[in-house]
Amino acid sequence: MAANEESIPLLPGQISIGNSGSGGSSGSAGSGGLARNTASELAGPVAEPEERELEAALRPKNLDDFVGQERVRKQLGLVLAASKIRGRSADHVLMSGPPGLGKTTLAMIVAAEMNAPLRISSGPAIQHAGDLAAILSSLTEGEVLFLDEIHRMSRPAEEMLYMAMEDFRVDIIVGKGAGATAIPLELPSFTLVGATTRAGLLPGPLRDRFGFTGHLEFYSVAELELVLRRSAGMLDLRLTSAGFSEIAGRSRGTPRIANRLLRRVRDWALVHGIESIDARTASAALDMYEVDARGLDRLDRSVLQALVNKFNGGPVGLSTLAIAVGEEPETVETVAEPFLVREGLLGRTPRGRIALPAAWEHLGLKMPGNAVAAAMLPFEEEPREG
Ligand SMILES: Nc1ncnc2c1ncn2[C@@H]1O[C@H](COP(=O)(O)OP(=O)(O)O)[C@@H](O)[C@H]1O
Ligand SMILES: [Mg+2]
């Protein structure tokens, strides 16, 4: 661990744990890095702030209520059951996967199943090792510490975390330069639950210190129907089976989106005085909100339309494509493209973005011969994560 990470010179009698709260913001801990919802976007995977409370109400509280993700659920269940038998706090757990699939939910479930208190913080909130030291030193025996977006923690904090995870101990550095001393601090045993959308960005040593890693996958339509049934029960809504599948099919494999679409359909039904929501109601409502049968929203479709209509299917560079749809390149790349790529609608090649045959088909167009040739270009190597 670096000895110079506490940069505030000490006055006599001052302890340098946690130099937060000084109001100084070093680097924006704001929105960088993650996909954000644009104002118009209903089908984005990231929760809006005002949505958090609604989500909290729908969160499954234990493993049995958690729908789908069979493998992760079984494995995590075993880890927790074993530690209960041993009477110890559970191994550290890492949850990785795209936004909206249940990482935060599972972190809370870990605490609930272990009957342990839960402390929540996140990578971006921990800018200095001192911030982490302050959190760690105030944990109680057996507590679960949830660190969201753990890949965005600062390096010095990360190094402090290694030791804390392994030995339940940290060294608090007091003083600066030659006079600096490390004061060892024993920690109570705790369980760290980390969550990340970018497991590939986690340094190996950190990844290795988790006893269990759960990779969350996109949900099948059938699983999303179960999520929706559960939510509808809690919101006291009536839907037909076809109504559930209609919404599930437009939810991009993501429970967060499924629940959000359900709320919009509920609003529509309420205004139209409809008591039981069938497929027609659901599709009319979602058509109005511009979420199409495949879950594409307005931005997704305008990207595809630009590619196809203005560039004959490409290849076209990201920035040109972004200008054509009137968005920032980052928005196109982080908000629209991941889903379009996953659906086999758009390809990324070394020469630019291309529309794949399914895109033409989805827009009801016939793919011209020269566009077929362009679609044969080799794809860019995507760095594999996890
Ligand atoms: N397996 C699941 N079963 C039921 N609801 C789920 C499930 N996974 C996620 N959800 C719902 O989706 C929303 C987002 O989940 P969350 O855990 O916040 O996702 P993440 O942290 O991965 O972005 C929550 O409101 C939660 O109720
Ligand atoms: Mg989360």
* pLDDT tens-digit readout, 313-348: 999 999 999 999 999 998 898 889 988 999 999 999
From 52, 59, 63, 197, give the residue whose CB has the most ligand 1 atoms within 8 Å, as the site to mutate: 59
pLDDT at 177 over 70: yes
Element (H, E) at 277: strand 276-277
Ligand 2 centroid to residue 355 C-alpha, Å: 32
Look up 256 and say whether it is catalytic. yes
Residue-wise pLDDT tens digits, 243-256: 999 999 999 999 99
Q: Which atom of ligand 1 is nearest to the CA of 45?
A: 23
pLDDT of the residue at 234: 95
The token pair at 377 is 């270009």
In the chain, count H helices and then E strands. 17, 11
Q: In angstroms, what is the span from residue 3 Cα to ligand 2's centroid?
A: 33
Write down the pLDDT at residue 149.
94
Q: Could you please report the per-residue DSSP string of 188-215?
A: ---EEEEEES-GGGS-HHHHHT-SEEEE
Domains of the chain: 69-215 (3.40.50.300), 221-288 (1.10.8.60), 298-374 (1.10.10.10)
Contact 94, 194 (CB under 8 A): yes
The structure's pTM equals: 0.82
Examine the pLDDT at 158 and tell me if it is beyond 90. Answer: yes
What are the DSSP calls for 113-180, one per residue?
HHT--EEEEEGGG--SHHHHHHHHHT--TT-EEEEETGGGS-HHHHHHHHHHHHHSEEEEEES-GGG-
Mean pLDDT of 201-219: 93
Q: State the distance from the centre of ligand 2 to the C-alpha of 38, rounded, in angstroms.
A: 18
Distance CA 51, CA 54 (A): 5
What's the pLDDT band for 12 if we cut at 50, 70, 90?
very low
Query: Are 197 and 98 within 8 A, CB to CB?
Result: yes
Q: What is the pLDDT of residue 338?
A: 87
Is the pLDDT confidence value at 42 over 90? no
Most confident of 155-159, 178-182, 301-305, 366-370: 301-305
The arithmetic mean of pLDDT across residues 166-176, rounded, is 89
Contact 252, 294 (CB under 8 A): no
Q: Is residue 188 scored above 60 in pLDDT? A: yes
Q: Considering 197, 213, 254, 331, which one is annotated as catalytic? A: 197
- Dihedral in degrees, nearest 10, Cα atoms 361, 365, 367, 370: -140
Mean pLDDT of the chain: 86
Whether the per-residue pLDDT at 6 is higher than 90: the answer is no
Q: At what angle do helices 255-271 and 221-235 cross, to 10 degrees?
A: 50
- CA separation for the pair 93, 213 (Å, rounded): 6
43-62 residue pLDDT tens: 788 887 778 888 888 999 99
User: Range with the lowest mean pLDDT among 12-21, 39-48, 110-119, 271-280?
Assistant: 12-21
